[in-house]
Chain A
Amino acid sequence: MAAADSPSAALQRRDLCSRGIRLAGKMRSDVIDLLDTYVERQGLDASASVVTVEGVPVAAVERWDEQTGTQRLLENLAAYRAFRVLLAQMLEEHREQLGDADTALGRALAAVLLQVSAFAYHLEELLRLESRGPPSEEGTAPPPVPHLGLFERKLRGLGVLRELAQWAVRSARDLRQLTKPSLGSSSAPSWAESP
């Protein structure tokens, strides 16, 4: 708490939030672009409906505005750690499938993966500033990916990207909420309430 109240910590927090918001925006933009490329390269239909993919965190949440700051950060961190694993699997699958032939898609996937990692780093830093510290990754590891067919993997990848785009929007909103001055103090007791 003491750290959070210091001017430099507040400044750093604000900077992290600001750049996190922008990173989320860019990530969303890149994911949207990637979705187009992915659909095209994987031979999918952009209007294809994808059911909820197992292991992929869902961005939608009820009573979003009632969440505390720490809650938001923790949920975001958990989601992006999951996305990092999922995207790494997708990239691996893509390389196994196409080798280095489709460099554009692979490069775009890698870029999004980097951004997901960067955003997770932002969240970890924010949690560290909240004197909370990031939770260990070991307990948050996604379930092992079931053996799927090629088309299913493509659809799963499409679902991952779409959900990531949703999460990018939500994350930006969460960070904006964190930057509001009123929430700075209100979020403090939430740490205690949070598990």
Chain B
Amino acid sequence: MFSGWNWVAYGLCLLLNFCSLEVSGGLVQSCGHIIPESPVLALGSNFTALCILNESCLDFGNIYANQIIWKIKNKVVPKEQYREINRTVSSVTFNDTSSLATPLTCNILADGQIEQNIYGIAVTIGLPPEKPKNLSCIVHQVSKLIYPMTCTWNPGRHTFLDTHFRLKYRWPQDEFPDCIPKDVNNSCTITDVQFFVNLEVWVEAANALGKAESDRLVLDPIEIVKPLPPHNLSVNSGILPTVLKLSWENLISGAVMKLKFNIRYRTTGDTNWIQVPPEDTASPRTSFSVQGLRPYTEYVFSIRCMKEDGVGYWSDWSEEKTGVTTEDKPSKGPPIWRIIDASDSPASWTVRLMWKTLEPFEANGIILRYEVTVRAKSSLSSPAEKYNVNTTNLTLKLPNGTYEVTVIARNRVGASPPSVLLIPASNSKAPVKNVRTLPKDGKLWVGWTAPNSYVLKYVIEWCLVSNSSDCIIEWQNEPGNVQGTYLRGDIKPFKCYLITVYPLYADGQGSGQSVKAYLQQDRPSKGPTVQTKKVGKAEAVLTWNHLTVDEQNGFIRSYTILYKTVDGNETAVTVDPSKTEYTLSSLTSDTLYTVRMMAYTDEGGRSGPDFTFTTQKFGKGEIEAIVVPVCLAFLLIVLLGVLFCFNKRDLIKKHIWPIVPDPSKSNIAQWSPQVPAKHNFSSKDQMYPEGSFTDVSVVEIEADDKKSFSEQDLKPFDLLKKEKSTSEGHSSGIGGSSCMSSPRQSVSDSDEGESTQNTSSTVQYSTVVLNGYRDQTPVQVFSRSESTQPLLDSEERSEDHTGGGDGTTPRQQYFKQSGGQDETNTDRPCFERTRQITPTNEGDLVGFAQLQISGHSSQLFGLGLEKNIQEAALPDVLQTSIEGQTVRPETVAGNPPSADEMPKSYLPQTVRQGGYMPQ
């Protein structure tokens, strides 16, 4: 509609704005027009328009039909579609109106090629209406007397035009006003219809391009009625506990139609409806008694109706009404079971009798109390004990034996049949076998294999196994002909249940068979905490505790130990779930390992905390295996060394402690009779008591009496010795050598020669002074005596005085100390220190003091010596005690030198390496 007016307005606008070549008197006068004016065209049809020019314009403007140009929306229509009918009329033809658009204008090309608009029209294109299809009607009852009829149809395709629909209806002899749809084009409602007269109904659709009618329906409106549902439904309990009586009112008169009904009902809380058999309610009525209901149960009812012959529609369901049946006596006794505690005393039981509350459909009312009867089967004479209980359990202390327990539930109407439980003295009958479980449909199914004997019924006990709570037993009864059932209870997932099946026989019961089960398993909530029990070099013993049942969340199928070094790959070891200890082997020694442990159920595993340990560097007994052989080898070497030394002691002694001839034992010494007289050691003995020296230099002088060689015999040796001594540098080959002296300073291989030399007529003396004394510059002095005189104290002294050419004859002192007690001088190794003090500026050697003393006493001893030297009262001969165990130092002083020759002071010194004492 809007689009049509739009086109018309547009066309008017064109007429006002164009089409004028001449303006006179203020009015626009058109030079032509188009035929047809504002056509409505069917889509796809052909169309021809004519543009007719006014004769007046021909003369005035010299315009003719051959100058006409047709345009569609400012787009020039191809010339092929033009046709010049005469000098004032031009036509344009369109074979398909779908190419048309608004406006279609007639224009003229005037002089100067100026295009002028003559006229324009608006073209409306659409479709004629289709025949309405699928007409159907229904009479909705809205009140007792009002029955509007609504008809619907399919209006067909969109016509792009303003199309009007009308629902027409009539009796054969009467016409009724049309029903005109409001806001829609596919339905209309006739407010009131009359029944029992055939009504002819049809739909008419019309627009600018045509008109169409639907097929005609002839119907009696009574046959298409959807009545209102019965109302005021009421439910009354009847005399019987299984019957409820329904009453209602029908909103449609029986004169209009006879009704049939549907009645449905359900228990409160249930969602499934039960329908009363339709044939029971197929006749007109206003009440009905529903039978076969459960006592003391609340029911919900609803009802609907339709025409009795089934022609028409069912009404909606009525509002729901509830009713409760009356009570009846309980239909069965309560299921009963017991828990026997025999721990208190061996002669009696604590029997806890338990029974379940009856289901509402079994209780048939409110259970007021339970009547329990306990009868001892063993003694028929004893009367039965009766108890009235309001709860569902009863604990009794009974002597051991067989009992029959009976429980009766009682409500206001009556008592239930009795439930009987036989409690035998022992569960001696055959048990069930192969108890198994299976989670199914969110419930836990328990199955078993029945024993061969006839079983009255089964009792299935179960409880939730938990660390945090006790095992609270739940149970249920199953008939004896089944071998499996679902547990009826709140079975939680991830929880462990201990399920036990007992078979009950007419004359006893079998022992229970148990199984653990989960409704649903999950990963463990934590992993085991692993730690080391013992760590070795290449192995470690791991221990852990089992997860608690609350942590398991399922059956632990295996443990996996995962261990790795810091930079190594992780190694996994699967361990049987029954174990709590495992030894890791083939580990690397002295290595840090990280170990963790996973526990697996069927649903997966979870890891415990990491634990680190370090393997040991050495294995068990490895240290002992190394140390013991080494010690043994060392001891063996030492032993061999000792044995070697013992065997070669003479040789060793000869090399280490060369035999130094003892001058005192020389033949000459023995020859000199006054020497022993000169020695008075008594004072020395007192001064240096025996054993006061810890480190003693011993000069061993071997007195070889046997070796009395002639002077000629010794000479060749003497010469050889001389050469050797010279070649030894500042060591003397003729003097004694110190055990501590270096080989360079001692001539060990000349011992024999020395001995020979000592006994020879020619005695060579040599002195080597290595170090200076105090601020004296040490000067190596080697002096040799070529004397062949026997070595006598007096001679030596006189020789000292006369030997030096410059008058500064060095004085020699000889000290001999002995540290041993039982050793003879000849056999005992000696420690010998020699020092030759060469006079420096003064050139005077006042004296020698050669001591080998302990450190702490050396000073004192030295002072003593100095004192003795200063007193110069001691004999100036060196006296060696042969028999005594101690060699006492003697201050040897020759004739007292002059005051300027005497050393100003003298401190005894320990003999240093390299020192040399002339002999």
Contacts and interface: CB of A to CB of B under 8 A. Distances in A.
Contact of A118 (B146, B197, B253): B197
B220 A19 contact: yes
A22 B196 contact: yes
Interface stretch (B150-158, B168-176, B442-450): B168-176
B232 interface: no
A11 to B, nearest CB: 14
A172 to B, nearest CB: 10
B339 interface: no
Given A28-B255, A29-B253, A108-B145, A122 B197 contact: yes
B196 A117 contact: no
Interface in B235-282: 253, 255-256
Contacts of A122: 196-197
A115 B255 CA distance: 13
Interface string B336-371: 000000000000000000000000000000000000
A110 B193 CA distance: 11
Interface string B38-53: 0000000000000000
Interface in B211-242: 220, 222
A19 B199 CA distance: 13
A110 B191 CA distance: 12
A122 B195 CA distance: 12
A118 B255 contact: no
Given A22-B195, A25-B255, A111-B194, A33 B145 contact: yes
Interface in A87-116: 107-108, 110-111, 114-115
Contacts of A121: 171-174, 197
A137 to B, nearest CB: 11
B650 interface: no
A169 to B, nearest CB: 11
B192 interface: yes
A20 interface: yes
Contact of B197 (A19, A110, A111): A19
A30 interface: yes
- Give the residue among B144, B173, B197, B220 with the most A Cβ atoms within 10 A: B197
Interface string B190-209: 00101111000000000000
Contacts of B172: 121, 125
A124 interface: yes
A108 B171 CA distance: 19
Nearest to B172: A121
- Give the residue among B144, B145, B174, B256 with the most A Cβ atoms within 10 A: B145
Contacts of B145: 30, 33, 108, 111
B443 to A, nearest CB: 59
- Give the residue among B172, B196, B220 with the most A Cβ atoms within 10 A: B196
- Give the residue among B195, B222, B255, B256 with the most A Cβ atoms within 10 A: B255
Contacts of B192: 107, 110-111, 114
B220 A118 contact: no
A26 interface: yes
A33 B256 CA distance: 13
A188 B222 CA distance: 32
A143 to B, nearest CB: 24
Contacts of A28: 255
A84 B171 CA distance: 15
Nearest to B199: A118
Nearest to B258: A22
Nearest to B222: A22
Contacts of B173: 117, 121, 124
Contacts of A33: 144-145
Contacts of A107: 146, 192
B173 to A, nearest CB: 5
Contacts of A20: 196
A23 interface: yes
Nearest to A28: B255
Nearest to B173: A121
A187 B194 CA distance: 30
B148 to A, nearest CB: 12
A115 B253 CA distance: 15
Nearest to B144: A33
B220 to A, nearest CB: 7
A18 B197 CA distance: 11
A19 B174 CA distance: 18
Given A30-B145, A118-B171, A19 B255 contact: no
A30 to B, nearest CB: 7
Contacts of A19: 196-197, 220
Interface in A1-37: 19-20, 22-23, 25-26, 28-30, 33
Nearest to A29: B255
Contacts of A124: 173
A177 B825 CA distance: 184
A29 B253 CA distance: 8
A118 B196 contact: yes
A110 B256 CA distance: 17
Contacts of A30: 145
Given A29-B255, A33-B145, A108-B145, A23 B196 contact: yes
Interface string B167-193: 000011110000000000000000010
Interface string A112-136: 0011011001101100000000000
B256 A29 contact: yes
Given A22-B222, A33-B145, A117 B253 contact: no
Interface string B639-677: 000000000000000000000000000000000000000
A107 B192 CA distance: 9
Contact of A117 (B144, B171, B222, B256): B171
Contacts of A110: 192
Given A33-B145, A111-B145, A23 B195 contact: yes
B767 to A, nearest CB: 171
Contact of B194 (A25, A108, A114, A125): A114
- Give the residue among A110, A117, A118, A124 with the most B Cβ atoms within 10 A: A118
A26 B195 contact: yes
Nearest to B146: A107
A164 to B, nearest CB: 14
A19 B257 CA distance: 11
Interface in B136-169: 144-146
Contacts of B256: 22, 25-26, 29
A111 B144 CA distance: 13
Given A121-B171, A121-B172, A22 B197 contact: no
Given A28-B255, A29-B253, A115 B220 contact: no
- Give the residue among B144, B174, B195, B220 with the most A Cβ atoms within 10 A: B195
Contacts of B197: 19, 23, 118, 121-122
Contacts of B196: 19-20, 22-23, 26, 118, 122
B555 to A, nearest CB: 77
B599 to A, nearest CB: 84
A28 B196 CA distance: 13
B430 to A, nearest CB: 77
A60 to B, nearest CB: 22
A68 B499 CA distance: 91
B222 A115 contact: no
Interface of B: 144-146, 171-174, 192, 194-197, 220, 222, 253, 255-256
Given A118-B197, A121-B172, A121-B173, 11 more contacts: A20-B196, A23-B194, A23-B196, A25-B255, A26-B255, A108-B145, A114-B194, A117-B173, A117-B174, A118-B196, A122-B196
30 contacts: A19-B197, A19-B220, A22-B196, A22-B222, A22-B256, A23-B194, A23-B195, A23-B196, A25-B255, A26-B195, A29-B253, A29-B256, A30-B145, A33-B145, A107-B146, A107-B192, A110-B192, A111-B145, A111-B194, A114-B192, A114-B194, A115-B194, A117-B174, A118-B171, A121-B172, A121-B173, A121-B174, A121-B197, A122-B196, A122-B197
Closest 6 CB pairs of A and B: A23-B196, A29-B255, A118-B197, A25-B255, A19-B196, A114-B194
